[in-house]
A and B are shown apart, each in its own frame.
Chain A
């Protein structure tokens, strides 16, 4: 039973994906049933496992490929953090996507790959070995491409090309790093850290750099972030997926695994790798924010904001002090909730009112109050204003920075907060305080319906506030991150 559960978790979306591919365009109900059913089932499984894992259960499944090459699916606290986030957001994004796409063409292809993406993400979360991680990581790369190019216009194709241009060389580097490491120390399991000391320091440093470069393209670390803003050509649910549910998160999660489980915080410190990583993350945070400030397209601004925000996760891990690690772990969820809210809303603005640029937002608050409220909540969360989720992250990272003896990080956080405010608050201001421009004429008052479009945004928006307000609760992301950190890394 325990061995079957991880596989079952994987299958909920894999089966949904496979079955969806073969559905004709017209069978909306069956397709929706499949996808929503899979998502609900997965959430149920996760809820069950959450309780079990708190009590100390570990689920493990091993699938042998070839000697030295096997898949290990392992459910521990860290994987549950990621998988519960992606499953929760998958459900919401599916609801949103059903409403968003309506009866547009190629729905079966879209939802098929969508579920496949989530299956890959689940696999990444559950991977117990480096090579399992790599396999699912690549599966994610591949299954995301059809989604990025879903619209099939020139812009989407270019975005897809840019995506692969970054993703494939990066995964080649990742593969080299894995093989280099494993050819000396044998297969690396996350739960049983191998003795990396069999390699000399220089090799280890190079391997680490390869890992970070390989994962950094997905995690959009500067200078490997170029694909992310280009990918905003994709439909809004895909952006939500890229930015919050799966892709970028997978990169950040990978960095976590590498730092925490493969190298370990002690070895990182010994090799002097923590500081460069923290510097890289800091540069990314500031660069992303500065670039976001220049964007006039809403989704591009959001994309650069992701570049900046995801590096908070990396920064927290790199700082390696208790609070910073917990903050980084929790931000995995926090950023997901906030960013998906923003993309949901940006999608609604685009789809229902044709708003894509910042200056078209003027006065939309009166016409689309719910979307505007959610967007505003997401925005203040991103700035890190209390009591939202982003605030909790900042507090933890800040305290962690001082603990780690890197007070300069506080300056980075402060500068980033100011920049975030500078590129998000004007949007909020436009939404609520400026008179509507020509973009929205009185005649065709945009509507936020159907419910499937707005409800997910409302849920995530309020969730992002709730996880901040109730941060100290046991099952809040922060509480869970604390559990992970205390159980695994800070003993």
Chain B
């Protein structure tokens, strides 16, 4: 009973909080904190249960699939839920000074809208992690897109509105492709539940050949999700959108939003349609990932604004995630190294979330201190805001994949799989990408460390500085204490060797 409640709470608490924040203006920050507390409680209840009982599921109102809505919590979902909760807590705490209504002054639109949108986004994310139904996932993705687009445009300036609109156009195209794919899939198989689809063995000999509709459907869904994940070459919307939003919003957008669609991709290809994943497809996805790594990194090197660097870094980091397909997908899923690659990709997603959020929050701190985020204004920031500089550096360590950090664990696992499976090319991409990210993250860091010509910075509260540091430390800790998350992720992992690499 309590477990069901907790499971529902993961979705309901942020949703209700969002509604409450709409109804009760000027108390958004407080309500958001209550939401954080609620989710935290739910997670605390769920973790031991998951460890004890394995996968938890709940059919809401007793309606089973395909008609009812089923929430299903596995280790993978829990890992993402926890990461999102951590990042959201940090973001909401550090958004307070910027978006909390001040006494005596009227509430601006962005101050009013931020809290419900953030909470809505959270709710949508949680649904995406818990749901096993492709249509429910569509709804979650749409909700996510709407909230994210609104957050991008929340400042209401021409640049951010354009970025939001562009984002929306890309995302809508993706949604439609996804929906069309879902419709075709339903037409062919009469169900949209991932587990039931998997049971039909689409693409294997059992289902008696492969229908063209299935192929088109898979293509449509994958393409739709790729656009939403900002996989190269559909990434062009991401940098302006993520860099145009206010820093806390950017943190959410960059760290969390692409993860939802990526997770669905993972579930689709690894759980629902594993037999449809031909080697060429996996290579295609891997190649696009590799291109994203290289392209995003090189473009990040080119930028002269901090938030654009960080945003392009997201493009590159998302590329890493797609290397999981050639490394662990298809036939190789049963191989011993697949577990390493698969877990590595999940670690990459988790640590990227933490580190990227930390980075955007750092950028927020510096924007407060300097007034803008152009690199040439960054001189002397390390002396003025040492904690933030340290946080940025730690986050960079994780993004570059240096030990000891979650990024390193991820990279190590994937690299080992690459070598063990003889797919050295992907290993090279990982290594070169790491070096490139070191190069583009070095620039702001070195500038921050340089002596300031005119060291006049606006003061930034210690709390605002502490939050990104904690997030970055969490990314590091993910690497230091990776044993627990590692085993947690394996819970409910389908049909493959869990023992890891020897």
> Could you tell me which A residues sit within 8 Å of B by CB distance?
21, 64-69, 105-106, 109, 131, 134-135, 138-139, 141-142, 146, 149, 152-154, 157, 160-161, 164, 168-169, 171-172, 175-176, 179-180, 182-184, 186
Contacts and interface: CB of A to CB of B under 8 A. Distances in A.
Contact of B450 (A138, A157, A179): A157
Given A67-B499, A168-B438, A176-B415, 18 more contacts: A21-B390, A65-B481, A65-B482, A66-B343, A66-B486, A69-B482, A109-B386, A135-B408, A153-B450, A161-B442, A172-B431, A175-B412, A179-B412, A179-B415, A179-B418, A179-B427, A180-B419, A186-B502
B403 A68 contact: no
A175 B415 contact: yes
Contacts of A160: 446, 449
B435 A69 contact: no
A295 B393 CA distance: 35
A67 B438 contact: no
A134 B393 CA distance: 19
17 contacts: A65-B480, A65-B481, A65-B483, A67-B486, A67-B499, A106-B383, A131-B412, A139-B403, A146-B449, A149-B446, A157-B446, A161-B446, A172-B434, A176-B431, A179-B415, A179-B419, A183-B501
Contacts of B156: none
Contact of B501 (A68, A149, A153): A68
A135 B403 contact: yes
Contact of A179 (B393, B416, B451, B479): B416
Contacts of A152: 382-383, 449-451
Nearest to B380: A152
Given A149-B449, A157-B450, A186-B502, A134 B403 contact: yes
B449 A153 contact: no
A292 B262 CA distance: 55
A21 B481 CA distance: 23
A176 B219 CA distance: 35
B260 interface: no
Contacts of A68: 340, 416, 500-502
Nearest to B428: A176
Main DSSP-derived SS at the B contact region:
helix
Contact of A168 (B340, B343, B435): B435
Contact of B500 (A67, A105, A131): A67
A131 B486 CA distance: 18
Interface string B381-417: 0110010001001000100101110001100110111
For A67, A142, A168, the residue with the greatest tally of chain B CB atoms inside 10 Å of its CB is A67
B162 interface: no
Contacts of A153: 450-451
Contacts of B480: 65
B277 to A, nearest CB: 23
A176 B383 contact: no
Contacts, number: 98
A306 to B, nearest CB: 25
B420 interface: yes
A176 B446 contact: no
A183 B404 contact: no
A150 to B, nearest CB: 9
Contacts of A186: 502
Contacts of A106: 383
Interface string B424-447: 000100011011001000100010
Nearest to B424: A180
Given A65-B482, A68-B502, A172-B435, A139 B446 contact: no
A482 B486 CA distance: 44
A69 B499 contact: no
Contacts of B486: 66-67
Interface of B: 337, 340, 343, 382-383, 386, 390, 393, 397, 400, 402-404, 408-409, 412-413, 415-420, 427, 431-432, 434-435, 438, 442, 446, 449-451, 479-483, 486, 499-502
A339 B396 CA distance: 34
A105 B384 CA distance: 12
A179 to B, nearest CB: 5
Nearest to A141: B402
Contacts of B449: 146, 149, 152, 157, 160
B466 to A, nearest CB: 12
B410 to A, nearest CB: 10
Nearest to B500: A67
A45 to B, nearest CB: 23
A152 B382 CA distance: 10
Top 4 closest pairs, chain A to chain B, by CB: A67-B500, A183-B419, A135-B403, A183-B420
Contacts of B416: 68, 179, 182-183
A138 B402 contact: yes
Nearest to B417: A183
Contacts of B482: 65-66, 69
A463 B130 CA distance: 66
A145 B442 CA distance: 11
B317 to A, nearest CB: 17
A162 B78 CA distance: 42
B409 A135 contact: no
A65 B479 CA distance: 7
Contacts of A168: 400, 435, 438
Contacts of A135: 403-404, 408
Contacts of B501: 67-68, 183
Contacts of B483: 64-66
A118 to B, nearest CB: 17
Contacts of A21: 390
A109 B432 CA distance: 31
A183 B413 CA distance: 10
Nearest to B382: A152
A146 B389 CA distance: 11
A105 B382 CA distance: 13
A118 B228 CA distance: 46
A292 to B, nearest CB: 29
A69 B446 contact: no
A336 to B, nearest CB: 25
B421 to A, nearest CB: 8
For B390, B408, B409, the residue with the greatest tally of chain A CB atoms inside 10 Å of its CB is B408
For A65, A106, A139, A168, the residue with the greatest tally of chain B CB atoms inside 10 Å of its CB is A65
Contacts of A67: 486, 499-502
Nearest to A69: B412
A152 B453 CA distance: 12
B290 to A, nearest CB: 16
A21 B389 CA distance: 13
Contacts of A184: 419-420
A156 to B, nearest CB: 9
Contacts of A176: 415, 427, 431
A237 B340 CA distance: 43
A460 B481 CA distance: 40
Nearest to B340: A68
Contacts of B481: 65
A364 to B, nearest CB: 31
